[in-house]
Copies of this chain bind each other. A is one copy, B any other.
Amino acid sequence: MKKLFPLVTADVALFTIEDHSLRVLLVKRANEPEQGTWALPGGVLDPGKDCSLDDTARRVLSGKTHVDVPFLEQVATFSGAKRDPRGWSLSVLYYALLPRDQVPAVAGEKTEEIKWVEAFTPAVPLGFDHANLLATAHARLRDKVQRAALPLHLLPARFTLTDLQRTCEVILGRPLDKSAFRRRLKDEPGLIELEGEFLRGAQRPAQLYRADDGFRF
Contacts and interface: CB of A to CB of B under 8 A. Distances in A.
Interface stretch (A4-12, A32-40, A182-190): A4-12
A47 B4 contact: yes
A53 B81 contact: no
Contacts of A90: 8, 45, 53, 90, 92
Given A47-B6, A47-B88, A52 B74 contact: no
A51 interface: yes
Contacts of A51: 80-81
How many protomers of this protein does the assembly include?
2
A-side interface size class: 20 to 34
Interface in A123-165: none
Interface string A1-40: 0001110100000000000000000000000000000000
A76 interface: yes
A141 B74 CA distance: 18
A129 to B, nearest CB: 12
A102 interface: no
A45 B77 CA distance: 14
A77 B53 CA distance: 9
A98 to B, nearest CB: 23
Given A53-B90, A90-B53, A4 B48 contact: yes
13 contacts: A4-B48, A5-B5, A6-B8, A8-B8, A47-B81, A51-B80, A51-B81, A52-B80, A53-B77, A54-B79, A74-B76, A77-B77, A77-B92
Given A6-B45, A52-B79, A53-B90, 13 more contacts: A4-B46, A5-B47, A6-B8, A6-B47, A8-B8, A45-B90, A47-B81, A47-B87, A51-B80, A51-B81, A53-B77, A79-B92, A90-B90
